[in-house]
Structure 1
């Protein structure tokens, strides 16, 4: 890198990204690069000079190749672009969350993002169901319940004998479900492996914690805007805190028996 500042290095890597990437893949001659990149010999010469001055490539045995430093820089840039891509995918979801809601970038960073499609509105819910189905210990805090998929969610979750669910939702939401969908209410309140809590959910999104991942349900005016799924340690810590906030002030829907 020599005397290059970080900003100067970034400028070189950005401008000469295709050339650097091709030399990370395999050593090449200058003629190879001209043919591969579809540019003039003088352009390739300038690119190699810039990359060489930055310590990113070197000439060896008649070919140009990325240095160890160059490979590390190229990998870092690729990871950075992947993270930007994830954030770009999540832009519309972030717009649906009020500014004062505690949706942290840590749960978005390096996550899988699934957006609702108006032509197939159920697809994103199916993605949610597919994610939670394998979980043997599932915790959910949500201000809104997907009553239309409650039975399928229950059937998937209880497909094996080893399962447990904690659900935290506002009392008003649970009361509406009990009044309009009594069969759904009976499913979840009649199972000893399921604990339902009523209490304020202090955010407008839903958060769930599965065995090996966490997720966020983002709600729009009508239905779901999309979901975010992440298995990173920082995302899990964030989800734990959000769930604990809702759970700490909630009360069991069915009080335990007095012994």
Structure 2
């Protein structure tokens, strides 16, 4: 009796088998159609169809082949397995920097995420990525351990012009860092006077840096030494719901920042 792992290996070792079974789950196909769709030779396809019939994954009907219920189940399950490994390959370079203690959504929701890493020619690439999101978003929420100068400038300009609604919650240290610089302090004051802009100070530290720009969630990823290593952003409902909940947790416990405090 074949084991499940042997059956997985049977499919995985032949892209033609994977493609043929997938096409047969979509609609009945003739042998000629399958040759054209997969690029497999007639003899190869003949062996594939024979193997599939032995496993009761397909059946013949009116001169064509179609997937059975179990064939459809196998094809769908194999596709899901491939997606899992694709996600693993995508996230492998950054997984050690993901805020594991804070993340409660399934990592499969990051399959379509954009990963941005600094390089020699673009050392500030992760920051530029979030700035691009901020420049077009109409509703922005930020919960972060820091409030960088570039983000403050973009948010100040867009809220002042009425193009953006902003809510941010930061630890006191992040606000103090801005207030220590006279120019940045003035920008922060301008932000606080803008309609639709509110900043709160968290009671304690914030271990994450999450930006919700409309439907997109952006995360800065840093190592144990606090050095920015990458960013990841994704437009996915499950991740968005997680980020909104995370933001609310800190926002509800934070206190409003006023101009008098600067």
TM range (shorter): 0.7 to 0.9
For residues 85-142 of structure 1, give each alpha carbon's deviation from its aligned partner in whole angstroms, at most 9, with x where no partner exists.
Answer: 233222232212465x322352662341312131323333333233344433321100
Q: Which residue of 2 aligns with 1:19?
A: 17
Indicate the RMSD between aligned Cα atoms, in angstroms.
3.6
Q: How far apart, CA to CA, are the structure 2 residues paired with 1:98 and 1:128?
A: 18
TM norm structure 1 = 0.75
Alignment of 1:1-259 (within 5 A): 10-22=8-20, 24-25=22-23, 27=29, 29=31, 32=35, 36-37=39-40, 41=43, 44-60=45-61, 62=63, 64-67=65-68, 70-71=71-72, 73-97=74-98, 101-106=101-106, 109=109, 110-118=111-119, 119-155=121-157, 157-158=158-159, 161=162, 163-180=164-181, 181-200=184-203, 203-220=206-223, 221-223=226-228, 225-232=230-237, 234-254=238-258
For residues 67-99 of structure 1, give each alpha carbon's deviation from its aligned partner in whole angstroms, at most 9, with x where no partner exists.
Answer: 565456434433442343233222232212465
CA contact (8 A) 1:20 1:57 kept: no
Runs of 4+ in 1 over 6 A off after TM superposition: none
SS at match of 2:123: coil
For residues 17-43 of structure 1, give each alpha carbon's deviation from its aligned partner in whole angstroms, at most 9, with x where no partner exists.
Answer: 43231354473538938x9236x93x6
CA contact (8 A) 2:134 2:154 kept: no
Structure 1: tracts of 5 or more residues without a match: none
Q: How far apart, CA to CA, are the structure 2 residues paired with 1:77 and 1:51?
A: 15
Residues 92, 23 of structure 1: alpha-carbon distance in 2 compared, 3 angstrom cutoff:
closer
TM norm structure 2 = 0.74
Q: How far apart, CA to CA, are the structure 2 residues paired with 1:108 and 1:201?
A: 31
Q: How far apart, CA to CA, are the structure 1 residues paired with 2:103 and 2:47?
A: 45
CA contact (8 A) 1:16 1:47 kept: no
SS at match of 1:129: helix
Q: How far apart, CA to CA, are the structure 1 residues paired with 2:138 and 2:172?
A: 26
CA contact (8 A) 1:107 1:238 kept: no
Residues 88, 254 of structure 1: alpha-carbon distance in 2 compared, 3 angstrom cutoff:
same
Q: How far apart, CA to CA, are the structure 2 residues paired with 1:149 and 1:57?
A: 56
CA contact (8 A) 1:20 1:70 kept: no
For residues 201-234 of structure 1, give each alpha carbon's deviation from its aligned partner in whole angstroms, at most 9, with x where no partner exists.
Answer: 65532123343243322234433511232322x3
Q: How many residues align?
A: 248
Structure 2: tracts of 5 or more residues without a match: none
